[in-house]
Amino acid sequence: MPEPVIYHIDVNSAFLSWEAAELLKQDPDAPDIRTFPAVIGGSEELRHGIVLAKSPSAKAFGVKTGEPLAHARRKCPDLKVYPPHYSLYVQRSNEFMELLRRYAPEVEAYSIDEAFCDMTGTTSLYGEPIAFAHKLKDIIREELHFTVNIGVSSNRLLAKMASDFEKPDKVHTLFPEEVPEKLWPLPVEDLFSVGKSTAGRLRSLGLGTIGDLAHANHDMIVSTFKSHGDTIWNYAHGIESSALTHETAPENKCYGNSLTISFDVTDSATAKRVLLSLCETVGARLRAAGAYISVVQVQITNNDFHQTCHQTTLPSSTNVTEKIYACACELFDAAWDHTPIRLLGVSTSKATSESYEQYNLFDMDKYEKLSKLNSAVDKIRTRYGEDAIKRACFVENDEKRDIRHMTGGMNKAKRTPKNT
């Protein structure tokens, strides 16, 4: 049996890199937005301006993904803001995954800009795995005009941690024997699946680094954090006790979008148009990632900033826009108290890479058709732009109350595991 070899390949500042490559394609003399303080951000006029991706020099100013553009501007007054182009990113993502499939026997899309490649047994084909990772990284840069980091290890967990080391355009290894040297000195929040709240609790126990967690008493960690404690204690030792993508992590993954609306919504028809628009992007993201979800949540924030969230579990998993939308509408009807709405959000969770749809014959037929329709629409948008095809209800928009047919850029939620 050959030694397992896993690559985790992560596009550097994906949206910004893809946007930069596109701008240069349109005008080779255009400035490269990767080389100065720039971000991809939502529209400020529509009150939903947050940083979706940042250039390295914006990062040097302390600009963070997910923060309001107004904050980012305070840190960096010369910041240039570029609007997101969702369908372009799906297209680039598809090209990226396609290139990987040309070389790797097994490719697993983990998010729109990340993939695992199982390279086990390819040494006779490509040579030594670390050298080939460098080669593959360069092939991606030359063919697709963006850079990636590649993490190389013998399991997914360590490969993923490795790709997060110094960026951009780098290959890093993190083999089990390198764990004490490379992983243990890192702050505990850097460990996969340790979010803010878990990190806070670990720190209050005096465990500030991954090494501290690794050396902590296993029973104590399990009694404090239950089964997640066992997982993170093993992760701190570089042991992937549960599969990252097929079982544990996808359930923690959530795909969601929200929109702060440029006017207060007071009627249910308008609210549902916003929900549909959000479901369009969420559905497209799920399909791009090959993910299926079984929990749908709707968030309503009224003009007093009071927030209501309702969620439900579907009997079967799906990535069909219409199904997510139908569910969102039901939740909305149950949750809305008729106060004016400022923000609406749709998020989905319990993601898996396989659908386990169990419909009666009538439903199965209907959802198969919808599924085919969805992927046809995705293809058209990928080729001709996201505005090439839209639902009739978005065609006649009154100008002042413009609701885009696909809203909400993608945010960090796309891959940050939720803390439980």
Q: Least separation, in Å, of the C-beta of 164 and Mg ion?
A: 9
Closest CA to 253 of 224, 213, 282: 282
Bridge pairing between strands 80-82 and 171-173: unpaired
CA distance 226 to 210: 18
Q: Least separation, in Å, of the C-beta of 377 and Mg ion?
A: 26
CA distance 299 to 275: 10
Q: Least separation, in Å, of the C-beta of 96 and Mg ion?
A: 11
- The single residue among 19, 67, 108, 113 that binds Mg ion, judged by CB under 5 A, is 113
Give 3-state DSSP helix, strand, coil % of the chain, rounded to 5. 45, 20, 35
Residue 408 tokens read as 């909400």
What torsion do the CA atoms of 382, 388, 391, 393 make, to the nearest 10 degrees? 140
| Stretch of 53-61, 110-118, 305-313, 387-395 lying at the interface with Mg ion (CB under 5 A) | 110-118
Helices (H) and strands (E) in the chain, counts: 14, 12
Closer of 41 and 229 to Mg ion (Cβ): 41
CA distance 69 to 329: 30
Q: Least separation, in Å, of the C-beta of 12 and Mg ion?
A: 6
What torsion do the CA atoms of 373, 375, 377, 383 make, to the nearest 10 degrees? -150
Q: Least separation, in Å, of the C-beta of 337 and Mg ion?
A: 39
Q: Is 22 a catalytic residue?
A: no
DSSP state of 176: G
Closer of 272 and 415 to Mg ion (Cβ): 415
Closer of 14 and 33 to Mg ion (Cβ): 14
Closest CA to 259 of 49, 408, 91, 76: 408
CA distance 258 to 350: 18
Closer of 55 and 299 to Mg ion (Cβ): 55
Closest CA to 148 of 127, 130, 133: 133
Please report which residue ranges of 145-301 form alpha helices under DSSP H: 156-163, 196-204, 210-215, 218-236, 248-252, 268-289
Residue 49 tokens read as 């301006």
Q: Least separation, in Å, of the C-beta of 403 and Mg ion?
A: 29
- Contact call for residues 278 and 408 (beta carbons, < 8 A): yes
What torsion do the CA atoms of 90, 93, 94, 100 make, to the nearest 10 degrees? -170
- Can you say how many angstroms the Cα of residue 70 is from the centroid of all Cα atoms in its chain? 23
Closer of 89 and 103 to Mg ion (Cβ): 89
Count the site residues for Mg ion by CB under 5 A.
4
User: Which residues, 2 to 61, sit near Mg ion by CB under 5 A?
Assistant: 10-11, 14
Closer of 190 and 330 to Mg ion (Cβ): 190
Q: Least separation, in Å, of the C-beta of 167 and Mg ion?
A: 9
**Helix, strand, or coil (residue 320):** coil
User: Which residues, 138 to 197, sit near Mg ion by CB under 5 A?
Assistant: none
| Stretch of 45-53, 109-117, 243-251, 339-347 lying at the interface with Mg ion (CB under 5 A) | 109-117
Q: Least separation, in Å, of the C-beta of 384 and Mg ion?
A: 26
Closer of 29 and 166 to Mg ion (Cβ): 166
CB neighbours (10 Å) of residue 311?
Answer: 15
Catalytic residue selected from 19, 67, 114, 357:
114
Closer of 113 and 378 to Mg ion (Cβ): 113
Q: Which residues are catalytic?
A: 114
* Binding residues for Mg ion (CB under 5 A): 10-11, 14, 113
